[in-house]
Amino acid sequence: MTDYILGLFYSDENNLIFDSIKFFEDLSEDKLSQIKMLPYKFLGPVFLTAASGIESWRIDFIESSLSLYRGRAFDADILQSFFNVNSSLEITPGLMTHLFALIGSPHTEDVDLLLEKLTKYIHPSIIQGKLVQEKIQGPNFEFKKFIKPELIRGLNLIDYSLGEARRVYWEEQHKYYCIGLIERVFEGDSKISNFISFDKDNPLRRQILQLIPSFYIFAILPDYYEKLIDETLGAFNKSGIYPNIRKIVISSQDSHAIYMEEFMESDGIKKSYGVILIPESQGVKEVKNISYFKRNIRNILDGHKNFDEFIKLLNPHFTIQKWSTSTDEDLNMLRESFDNPN
């Protein structure tokens, strides 16, 4: 049997969470208890309110590649990718609902196809079905009884759609402006994490701050989701693989921003660089397409560029100063310095 991990989480207009999760092996009670908490952990930061109090921005997409631990043997049927897609729809003015899919797959998957199924069919169908049943049943309508079969139906549709080869889409040619870089180095249990961007007194920093939820948000998301995905894999007994964040997309009603990361592992040390990008449409100059940023990240990871040259290629207005983000104290200092509008 093909070994997928599938989950569908629904958050209603009252922020109540309902879930349906599908997997293909017997798990212990401890593992099942961990799995029951996953909807709350994945959906918790979707609204970005806990970290920033900014309700207009949401996390739409998270993708992680999966690597084998070295020196271990595994079955041929193994997960290759792990990603999450979120659909946000307004059920009544000012009240949002969210449908969040968690997918672990042995294939690369056509993410855009799955997102279309989620946003254009499954989520609208749940909302429409709820409105119809409320009208028919009136005060006798019980949402808990309604939502469970709807989530199972949606989960089966996602399951049926898995295995499609990923296609190349035109968004690869869209142009973006780099507003920051995150450097992460892991060796055993130790971690070094740094943030590089404009000088905090540069007017560009204040200008960009008006176009994003916060610099602090971007500094915490890669670590948070990489750890959460690793925890999720452990809950499903996938202990032979570990995640590497590839892409996070957040959006507001008017725009979106992308975090995109590449990594390299050598002699037990994992090093990654991730760029924070905002789209050309926001009136910024010196924009490049995504392939430009990917190529330059690979070049520095492969040793073909020095750090100073790399930084200037990302954005000539960046300084080479590194702001540590390894501890809570470091992160709070970054927030005070970079998220201050003055």
Same domain for 77 and 197, yes or no, is no
> Of 257, 214, 225, which is closest to residue 42 (Cα–Cα)?
225
Q: How much is the average pLDDT of 178-202?
A: 93
Q: How much is the average pLDDT of 84-97?
A: 83
Average pLDDT value for the chain: 86
Residue 99 maps to which CATH number?
3.30.450
Q: How much is the average pLDDT of 69-77?
A: 51
* Residue at which a domain ends, from 131, 161, 191: 161
Question: For position 169, what pLDDT does the model report?
Answer: 55
Same domain for 128 and 203, yes or no, is no
**Between 205 and 15, residue with greater pLDDT:** 205
Question: For position 66, what pLDDT does the model report?
Answer: 85
* Residue at which a domain ends, from 161, 184, 215: 161
3-state secondary structure of 71: coil
Q: How much is the average pLDDT of 37-66?
A: 71
Question: For position 5, what pLDDT does the model report?
Answer: 87
* Residue at which a domain ends, from 134, 161, 188: 161
Q: pTM of whole model > 0.75? A: yes
> What are the pLDDT digits (tens) for 133-175?
999 999 899 999 999 999 999 999 998 888 876 665 555 568 8
Question: For position 30, what pLDDT does the model report?
Answer: 86
**Per the structure, how many domains does the chain have?**
2
Given a cut of 50, whether residue 240 has pLDDT beyond it is: yes
Given a cut of 90, whether residue 317 has pLDDT beyond it is: yes
Same domain for 211 and 304, yes or no, is yes
Q: Give the list of residues 6+ apart from residue 57 with CB closer than 8 angstroms, or none.
A: 47, 48, 213, 217, 250, 251, 252
Q: How much is the average pLDDT of 117-142?
A: 92
Given a cut of 60, whether residue 71 has pLDDT beyond it is: no
C-alpha separations of 104 from 52, 215, 242, 262, 288 in Å: 29, 29, 12, 20, 31
Question: For position 101, what pLDDT does the model report?
Answer: 92
**Between 300 and 68, residue with greater pLDDT:** 300
Same domain for 156 and 210, yes or no, is no
Same domain for 274 and 176, yes or no, is yes
Same domain for 204 and 255, yes or no, is yes
Same domain for 144 and 182, yes or no, is no
Question: For position 108, what pLDDT does the model report?
Answer: 80
Q: How far apart are CA 126 and CA 317, in angstroms?
A: 47
Domain of residue 120: give its range: 5-161
Q: Give the list of residues 6+ apart from residue 333 with CB closer than 8 angstroms, or none.
A: 323
3-state secondary structure of 195: strand
> What are the pLDDT digits (tens) for 4-51?
889 999 988 887 888 888 876 777 888 888 888 888 788 765 545 544
Same domain for 186 and 119, yes or no, is no
**Between 281 and 123, residue with greater pLDDT:** 123
Least confident of 193-197, 270-274, 303-307, 311-315: 303-307
Same domain for 174 and 157, yes or no, is no
Same domain for 118 and 178, yes or no, is no
Same domain for 147 and 184, yes or no, is no
Split at pLDDT 50, 70, 90, the class of 107 is confident
Tokens coding 224: 């948070």
**Between 92 and 305, residue with greater pLDDT:** 305
Same domain for 118 and 264, yes or no, is no
Q: How much is the average pLDDT of 68-75?
A: 56
